[in-house]
Chains A and B, each alone.
Chain A
Amino acid sequence: MNDLLQIRVLQVLPLGWDLGWALILIPLLPLAGFLLLGLFGRKYLQRSSGILATLLLLSSTVLSLYTAYGYFFEFGKVDGIYQKIIPFQFTWLQFSPGVSIDMGVILDPISVMMLVVVSFISLMVHLYSLAYMKGEERFPTYFAFLGLFTFSMLGLVMSSNIFQMYFFWELVGVSSFLLIGYYYDRPSAVAACKKAFIVTRFADLGFLIGILVLAFYAGTLDFNTLIQRLTSTSAPEFQAAIASSFLGVSALTWALVLVFIGGAGKSAMFPLHIWLPDAMEGPTPVSALIHAATMVVAGVFLVARLFPVFSMSPPALDVVAYTGIFSALFAALIACTQTDIKRVLAYSTMSQIGFMMFALGVSGWGGENGLGFTASMFHLFTHAMFKALLFLGAGSVIHFIHSNEMKDMGGLRKYLPVTHITFLIACLAISGVPPFAGFFSKEEILLAAFNHNPAIYWTALITSGLTAFYMFRLYFSVFWNKEATVHGEHHGEGGFAMMLPLVLLAAGAAFAGFIPFGNFVSTDGKPLESAFHLQFSIAPVLLGLAGIFTAMWLYKKQNDRPASIAASLSGFYKAAYHKFYMDELYLFITKKILFNLIGRPAAWFDKNVVDGMVIGAGNTTQAISEKIKQFQSGKVQQYAIYFLAGVIGLAVLFIYIWK
C-alpha cells in the first residue's frame, strides 16, 4: 500500500533546484482554483473569483517560467544534449510487472516549452476574461472551468506515461465541452458542445486502441521505456511490432496511425475537423485559449511526443504529412469565403495546425533531418502567440459591435486603436511577413518540406499565400472598408484588463521569431543550427505580400469586386462557402446511412426481441395470475376446503405412495 503512494524520486536534481514541488504546483494551482470556485464560487466569490483565478494562474506561470529557465539554462543540458528528466513518478495502478500506469512528470524541451505556452496564454486569457466576461451571472463558473482546462492541459504536457496522458487528454476534452457549452441556454451552443465532444471522443477511441497496441508490443506504458524499446532496431519488442502485420501494414504503423487519429480529432485535422468551427459558440476568450492556442495543438504535441517512434515508421509519417497538408489547404480555401469573424479564425487555426502536422510528417530523425520537428514546435510556439492575439482581438471587436458577422463591421480602426494595431501585427505574423514571428517558423517549415517532398512544399507555398489573403481580407473588412456604423455611445476597448493581454501577446507575435528555437528544441536534444537562406525566403514572402495586396485591392474600400469575383467562381465559391459540404456529408453518412442501416435494425431488434422477451415474461405472469387469483376469494369456507383437500392429499401421499 505504501509503495503506491510513495513518491519515487528518480533523479536528484543538481544545483539545489527543488523542482519537485514547483512542478506539482504548476498544474495543481489551477485545479485548486477549479475546486474552490466550482464549490463555493457562486455563493461566496461572485466578485472576487476572477481575480483569485488569475492570481493562482499567475503563480503557475511564474513557476513555469522558473522551470523553463532552469531547464534550458541550468541543468537540462548534459554534455550539450538536452536530457529527458523525470523528477518524480509514482505507480498508480500496476497491471503486471512492467506494465503500470504511473503518475509522473517528464521534463524535456517540448514539455517545458508547452508548459510556458499553456500557462502564459492561459494567464493572458484569464486577464482578458476579467473584463470580457464581467457581469456574467456564471462568472465564477467560467473561471472554474478555465482552471479545470488549464490543469488538464498542463497535466497533459507533463505526462510521463501514455495512459496518464490519455486521462488528461479526456479531461481536456471534457473542459472544452463545458466551455463551448457555457451559454447553455443557446441551442446552437448546446449542439456545438455535443458535436465537439462526440467527434473528439470518437477519435479518442483510435487513440485508446493505439495505446493498447503500442503497450502490447512494447510491454510498457511508460513513455521513455516505450520509446527506447520501439526505436532500437535490435530490440525484440521492435522486431515483433514490425514483423506482425495486418492487411499488409505492420503493427507498429497501425498503432501509430490509430494514435494519430486521436491526435487528428483533437487537432481538427481533416476529416475530423467538423467540430472546430462550431466550437466558436463558446465565449471568445475560450476560443483563444482552447480552440486556437493550446488544446487543439495537443494532437501535434502527441505526435511530437511519440516522434521517435513515428520516425521508425515512414508510412505513418506519410499519413501525418498528407493529412496535415490537405487540411491546411482545405481549411485555407474555406477561410477565404466565411463571413463570421470567428469562423475565419477557426479555419485559419485548422490550416496552421495542418502546417505543424505536415512539418512533423516530413521530418526525419537527428541532426539536419530533424528540421521539420523543430519547425513544427517553433510554429506551435509562435502560432499560440499570434492566434491567441487574433482571437482576443476578435473578442474586442465582437465586444464592441455585438455581432460576429463581418458585414456588420468596418472602419473600426478609429474606435479600437489598440486592437487595430495588435490585430495588424498578428495578421502580419500569421502571413509570414518578416520580421514577425510567423515568418521564421513558417520559413523553417517550408524549408523542411522543400528538402523532403516537393509536392507538399508547393501546396504549402500556395496555402501560405492564401493565408495572407484571407487574414487580410478579415483585417480590411473589419478595420477599413466602409465607415463604421456605431449606434449610440460606445464603451471603448474594454479597459486595461483587455488591452494588456493584447499588447503582451503582440510583443510575443512580433519578437518570438528571434528566439533561436533550434538551440532548444530538436529531435535528439542537440542544438540544431537553422541556417537562414535568403533566396529561399523570397518566394513565400512575395506570395504572402501578393495575398495581402489582393486583399487590400478587394476589401480596403467598399466595392463590388469581391462580389463579382465570387460570382465568376460561383460553383467553387459556393462549395467553399458551404465548407465543401462536409457537415452535410457527415449528416448524410450518419443520418441516412448509419441510422437507417444500423440504427433502425438495432432499434427494431431492441424493441421487438429484447424488449419482447422482457415484456412477454411480464405479460405471461400477468395472464397466469389473472387466472389463479380467484383462489383468494375471501370466503373462509372455501379456504377450509382447500385446506382439507391438501390434508387428504398429503395423507394419500404418505399412506399409499411414500409408504
Chain B
Amino acid sequence: MMEPGLYHLLFISAALFFIGVFGFFTRRNLITMLMSIELVLNSVNLNFIAFNKYLWPNRLDGLFFSIFVIAIAAAEAAVAIAIIINLYRSHQSIDVENAEEMKF
C-alpha cells in the first residue's frame, strides 16, 4: 500500500477549502455558513501540518500554528453564534437573505 504523500494531503486540503467556500456562498442558513467557515479553517490547519511534516520534519512551527487556529476558531464560533442569536432576536430568522438592510 502506498504511503500518503504531501500531494495527497494538499489535495484533500484544497478540496476541503473549496467545499467550505462553496458552502459559504450557497447556503442561506447562517449556522451552515458558520460550519462552512470551519471547513475552510480546517483545510488551513491541514496545510500547516502537512508542510510541517514533509518539509521541516524536525520543527514544530506548523503544529503550533494549527493549534492557534483551532483556538481562534473556537472563539470565532462563540462570537458568530452570539451574532446569530442576536440576529434571530431581531429578525425572527437566521436566513442571510432576510438580513440585507445594510445597503446603499
Contact = CB atoms under 8 A, between A and B. Distances in A.
B82 to A, nearest CB: 16
Summarize B's interface: helix, strand, loop or mixed: loop
B97 A635 contact: yes
Interface residues of A, number: 11
Interface in A154-205: none
A640 B40 CA distance: 13
Contact of A637 (B25, B101, B102): B25
B104 A637 contact: no
Contacts, number: 26
Contact of A633 (B21, B25, B99, B100): B100
Interface string A629-643: 110111111001100
A637 B21 contact: no
A644 interface: yes
Interface string B62-104: 0000000000000000000000000000000000110111111
A632 B96 contact: no
B24 to A, nearest CB: 6
B102 A634 contact: yes
Interface residues of B, number: 11
B59 to A, nearest CB: 25
B5 to A, nearest CB: 23
Candidate in B24, B102, B104 with the most chain A CB atoms within 10 angstroms: B104
Interface of A: 629-630, 632-637, 640-641, 644
Contacts of A633: 100, 103-104
Given A629-B104, A634-B101, A634-B103, 8 more contacts: A632-B104, A633-B100, A636-B96, A637-B24, A637-B25, A637-B96, A641-B25, A644-B21
Which 3 A-B pairs have CB atoms at the shortest separation, nearest pair first? A634-B103, A634-B100, A629-B104
A643 to B, nearest CB: 10
A630 B99 CA distance: 16
Nearest to A629: B104
B52 to A, nearest CB: 22
A644 B17 CA distance: 12
B42 to A, nearest CB: 18
Nearest to A635: B100
Contacts of A640: 24-25
A632 B101 CA distance: 11
Interface in B11-41: 21, 24-25
A640 B25 CA distance: 7
A636 B33 CA distance: 11
9 contacts: A629-B104, A633-B103, A633-B104, A634-B99, A635-B96, A636-B99, A636-B100, A637-B24, A641-B25
A637 B28 CA distance: 9
Contacts of A636: 96, 99-100
A640 B28 CA distance: 13
A543 to B, nearest CB: 89
A655 to B, nearest CB: 15
Contacts of B103: 632-635
A652 B80 CA distance: 31
B16 to A, nearest CB: 16
